[in-house]
Amino acid sequence: MVDTKTTKRVLQGVVVSDRMVKTRIVEIHRTRFIAKYEKQFPATTRVKCHDEKNEFHTGDKVVIQESRPLSKEKRWVIIGRQ
C-alpha cells in the first residue's frame, strides 16, 4: 500500500506587513546557488499568510506552513513564533 499523504513545507520568516485583516506578509530569506557561476547570492521571497487571530505583527519571526488555497494569493498559514 502506497502512502498518498504528502508532507507540507515548513519555512521561517519575518512579518513585514500586518495591514490586512487575518493576512500577514512574510518575507523569507534564503541563499541560492548558481552552478554555472559557482556562486551563492541572497534571495528573498514575500508570501501572504493566514493569521486567524491577528496575533502577529511587523517584525515578528514566525514559522509558516503550506496549506490549501485560502484566497487568490494566500497559500500559507502561520503556525507559531520562531
What whole-number distance in Å separates Cα of residue 25 and Cα of residue 13? Answer: 10
Q: To the nearest whole percent, how much of the chain has pLDDT over 90?
A: 90
What whole-number distance in Å separates Cα of residue 25 and Cα of residue 39? Answer: 29
* pTM of the full structure: 0.87
User: Quick check: 1 pLDDT over 80?
Assistant: no
Residue 3: band (very low, low, confident or very high) from pLDDT cuts 50, 70, 90? low
CATH number assigned to the domain comprising residue 54: 2.40.50.140
Q: Is 60 within the bounds of a domain?
A: yes
Domain containing residue 24:
10-81
Q: Is 43 within the bounds of a domain?
A: yes
Q: Is 42 within the bounds of a domain?
A: yes
Tell me the pLDDT tens digit for each residue of 35-75: 999 999 999 999 999 999 999 999 999 999 999 999 999 99
Domain count along the chain: 1
pLDDT at 5: 75
Q: Is 2 within the bounds of a domain?
A: no
pLDDT at 72: 97
pLDDT at 32: 95
